[in-house]
Amino acid sequence: MNIFEKIVAGEIPCKKVLENAKFLAFHDIAPKAPIHVLAIPKKCVKDFNDVSPDLMAEMSDFILEVVAVLGIKDKGYRLITNIGSDGGQEVPHLHFHILGGGKLKWVDLV
Ligand code: AMP
């Protein structure tokens, strides 16, 4: 089980933001912005390369609910999903970083 599957199973605690039958959003343990939340499908999909259009459509709806709950939907935020080793993905379970709560800078990535 990867670490996010353990969070879904309740074996590792998380600071939950929103949950439904298929998705979970929780605060990142090492925030990179004033608000840094991760949105994941409960079912393990490795990354964006592997997600079906149907699941991605539901994921998008869930993310929009999360940003509404966080109060950042209108002010703006950044969505990031890292894919594979060049993408810097550490946890092999699809997740979207939701970053906001302030004016975000654009940083050099390489
Ligand atoms: P990535 O590098 O895109 O795979 O991102 C993985 C993210 O998971 C990082 O931002 C970590 O800080 C975060 N993370 C790792 N373990 C936990 C945890 N137990 N609870 C919350 N976030 C975590």
Give tens-digit pLDDT for 51-110. 999 999 999 999 999 999 999 999 999 999 999 999 999 999 999 999 999 999 998 999
Rounded to whole angstroms, the Cα distance separating 25 from 38 reads 5
Determine the Cα–Cα distance for residues 32 and 16; give it in Å rounded to an integer.
17
What are the structure tokens assigned to 98, written together?
A: 């939701």
Active site (catalytic) residues? 95
Q: Taking the alpha carbons of 13, 29, 55, 2 in that order, is the dihedral positive or negative?
A: negative
What number of other Cβ atoms are within 10 A of residue 49's Cβ? 10
Q: What are phi and psi of 12, to 5 degrees?
A: -125, 135
Q: Tell me, what's the pLDDT at 66?
A: 98
- Ligand 1 centroid to 29 CA: how many Å? 6
Inter-residue contact 62 to 79 (CB < 8 Å): no
Alpha carbons 43 and 48: distance in angstroms, whole number: 13
Please give the pLDDT value at position 102.
98
Domain 3-100's class?
A: alpha beta
Residue 14 near ligand 1, beta carbon < 6 Å: yes
Ligand 1 centroid from CA 86, angstroms: 17
Torsion, Cα 50 51 53 54, to 10 degrees, reads: 140
- The pLDDT value given to residue 21: 98
pTM over 0.85: yes
Q: Residue of the nearest CA to atom 3 in ligand 1? A: 89
The string of pLDDT tens digits covering residues 10-39 is: 999 999 999 999 999 999 999 999 999 999
pLDDT, tens digit (0-9, with 9 covering 90-100), for 63-76: 999 999 999 999 99
For residue 46, what pLDDT band results from cuts at 50, 70 and 90? very high
